[in-house]
Amino acid sequence: MYFDPMYLVFMAPALLLAFFAQMKVRSAYGTYTKTANSRGLTGLDAARMILGPEGLGHVQIEGIRGELTDHYDPRSKKLGLSAGVAQQPSVAALAIVAHEIGHALQDNQGYAPLKLRGAIVPAVTVSSWVAPLLFFAGLLLGLTELAWVGVILFGASVLFALVTLPVEFDASRRALRLLQSYNLADGRELQGAKTVLDAAALTYVAALAQTLMTLLYYVSILGRRRE
């Protein structure tokens, strides 16, 4: 089987960044999930204290399985909290809950990047697996036009990853504001929450790097074939 060394040229930096980002997340979460907040508030406590006053009383809270699976679903208006966040009085729990409520605020206020990301989800869901199939089918069959269709469709994944950055960064900014304005964390705890959120944000930067470098790799293959 032929291995293209150019794959490593394009993808190695992005893969290393992704690995580093995951290590940062695990380290930050591992540290601050063991660090109790001074008010002894669980993630569920914090959610209940914030949602009503922020005009989000319609948002339902539900328990979900897993670790670091917490999320806000704009379609069902539900805040999904894992047991490690909902039931633990940790700094990490406060950071994660506040971040997801940040997404709920974005949804409630019609935050444009969040609306754009939601609009392109269906296209990304299809293109993420169809695009590589078309690209490699085009290469194998010698149909350059088909391969380019695959490249163009894969561009939807790049757009999704790009739009995700302002959505996540803004949610983290809102999270820190919420923790501070509701006096849920002191200065030291706010810094810990920021460490957790910054580590999580790096994973989205890494995701963008991976999709972008994959796209550029596809384009480079077609460029070399034309030569």
Q: What are the tokens at 34? A: 């063991």
64 exposure class (CB count in 10 Å sphere: 0-12, 13-18, 19+):
middle
Three-state DSSP class for residue 195 = helix
Among 62, 67, 100, 189, the one annotated catalytic: 100
Instruction: Count Cα neighbours of 2 within 13 Å in the Cβ-side half-sphere.
Output: 2
Nearest to 8 by CA among 160, 206, 222, 220: 220
DSSP designation for 143: -
Q: How far is CA 14 from the centre of its chain?
A: 16
Catalytic status, residue 100: yes
Contact 38, 193 (CB under 8 A): no
- Catalytic positions are 100
